[in-house]
Amino acid sequence: MPIDILMPALSPTMEKGNLSRWLKKEGDKIKPGDVLAEIETDKATMEVEAVDEGVLAKIVVPAGTADVPVNNVIGLIAGEGEDPKSVAAPHTMPHPSAAQSHQPSSPSAQVRQESPTPASAPSASAPSPIASANGQHGPRIFASPLARRIAKESGLDLAAIAGSGPHGRVIERDVTAALAKAPARPAVEEGRAPSAPVPPSIPSDEVIRQNYALGSFEEVPHDLMRKTIARRLIEASRTIPHFYLTIDCNLDALMNLREAINEAAPKDKDGKPVYKISVNDFIVKALALALIRVPDANVTWTESAMLRHKHADVGVAVAIPSGLITPIVRAAETKTLSVISGEMKDFAARARARKLRPEEYQGGSTAVSNLGMFGIKSFSAIINPPQATILAIGAGEQRAIVKNGAPAVAMMMSVTLSCDHRAVDGAVGAALLAAFKALIEQPAGMLA
């Protein structure tokens, strides 16, 4: 019996991926560890390795195919004693039992550098790409996980929706279109609460296009990263009760210390400094130390318990084509400024090349989003689950202040902390910002 090669799940939020290219062709002999294909996700490009020996008998999903659902069969391996030419491509979607885990129980391919999902990350279990409407028994309804979720949240019956995907599969646009056409729900009877919140109707693509003259716009299809960012931002804004705290920090001492550290940096064989510390490196270190000083803020919310972290893992938002990604400096409170600087330079380069591994951007205690280099004075950022806070950094600028009762000019920076009110109360968030401000304004303490 041939061995299935399945589309792997490379992150907790991944529902589908693009099969960029095959590195083996039909008829090639393969052994464990051989790289079979490259998969492009919303965050990175990863390699699929073989875990079994045999012959690549059939490429089911050709190179360049986009939006392949997780756990779909992408290829078949003929095992020992099996005739590769007799292996036929499957004609149906994988059975629901194949989607019970991202790592199939039967022999299959695996992903290079894949790591266990951190305890604080959302469950990596993906719903089956095939499901019956509303979980009832009866004729099988082919639907994508996203389509099923939207239908469930909106109270739509999947059985009544015509699918436009492969093999009549119900996909996101089908549910969205059905939702736009659905009649308004009757008002809830007085004294009775609705069984579930009713989300606002989402206009279909066709309805939105009607607002603009034909030929007045160009359509640029969303890639996986942009789709995932959109979905996660909606989920975060709807499910996390945000509140915001803003404080101003005096950067004069930090800027002087930064200049002294960079001037004293050792030189390499070409006479260039081995490192160059940025203001952002100080911010990452200060936020990490502040979380250790205020442990009640160094937490992650779960429905059953609060996860109180022993180290401060600080994510840093990095802009890349089509969106952003947040690589994480692990145990940042234990690292020197030069180490943090080196890690961030490496992360930024590999993020832009889409070469970060999942464990390098999943989880984390908090995050930093810095728009100061664009001249933004202040802003509020949306929390990136499962983190409980995010610190938005504005530009450092000369401002008039009162110092020792007299007017003075200082380099000031405004920062805004977004907090998940389920995990971090106002007083705790204020204590975290106070600790951060103290470290930024007395930066020599970060060198101890």
Q: Who has greater pLDDT, 211 or 298?
A: 298
Enter the pTM of the model: 0.63
Longest dimension (CA), the chain: 89
Query: Measuring CA to CA, which residue among 21, 7, 27, 29 is closest to residue 62?
Result: 21
Calpha distance 434→436 (Å, rounded): 5
Parallel/antiparallel/unpaired status of strands 366-370 and 389-403: parallel
| pLDDT of residue 232 exceeding 90 | no
Burial degree of 143 (CB within 10 A; 0-12, 13-18, 19+): buried
* Least confident among 157-166, 186-195, 317-326, 331-340: 186-195
At residue 421, what is the residue type?
A: H
Residue 21 near residue 66, CB atoms below 8 Å: no
Alpha carbon distance 111, 28 (integer Å): 19
Q: Range with the lowest mean pLDDT among 40-49, 87-96, 246-255, 284-293?
A: 87-96
**What is the rounded CA–CA span in Å between residue 71 and residue 58?**
17
Is residue 154 a contact partner of residue 132, using CB atoms and an 8 Å limit?
Answer: no
For residue 241, what pLDDT is reported? 95
Residue 250 pairs in a beta bridge with: 412
pLDDT at 104 over 50: no
Write the pLDDT tens digit of every residue in 382-406. Answer: 999 999 999 999 999 999 999 999 9
Q: Which of 299, 316, 284, 309 is nearest to 436 (CA)?
A: 284
Does residue 184 have a pLDDT over 80?
no
Q: Which pLDDT belongs to residue 167?
A: 65
The two three-digit tokens of residue 55, written as one number: 């012959």
- Pick from 349, 357, 276: nearest CA to 318: 349
pLDDT in tens, 8-23: 877 666 788 889 889 9
Q: Does the pLDDT of residue 188 top 60, yes or no? A: no
User: What is the torsional sign of CA 298, 300, 303, 305?
Assistant: negative
How far apart (Å, rounded) are the C-alpha atoms in residues 283 and 440? 7
Q: If DSSP states are collapsed to H, E and C, what string results for 54-92?
A: EEEEEECCCCCEEEEECCCEEEEEECCCCCHHHCCCCCC
Q: Measured between alpha carbons, how far is residue 107 from residues 5, 76, 152, 170, 176 in Å?
A: 8, 11, 33, 29, 37
Could you tell me the domains of the chain? Answer: 3-111 (2.40.50.100), 130-232 (4.10.320.10), 240-447 (3.30.559.10)
- Is residue 421 flagged as an active site residue? yes
The dihedral over CA atoms of 248, 250, 254, 256, expressed in degrees to the nearest 10, equals 150
Burial 199-227 (b: 16+ CB within 10 A, else e): eeeeebeeeeeeeeeeeeeeeeeebbbeb
* Given 91, 95, 137, 421, the catalytic residue: 421
More confident residue, 142 or 59: 59
Percent of the chain residues past pLDDT 90, beyond the cut: 46
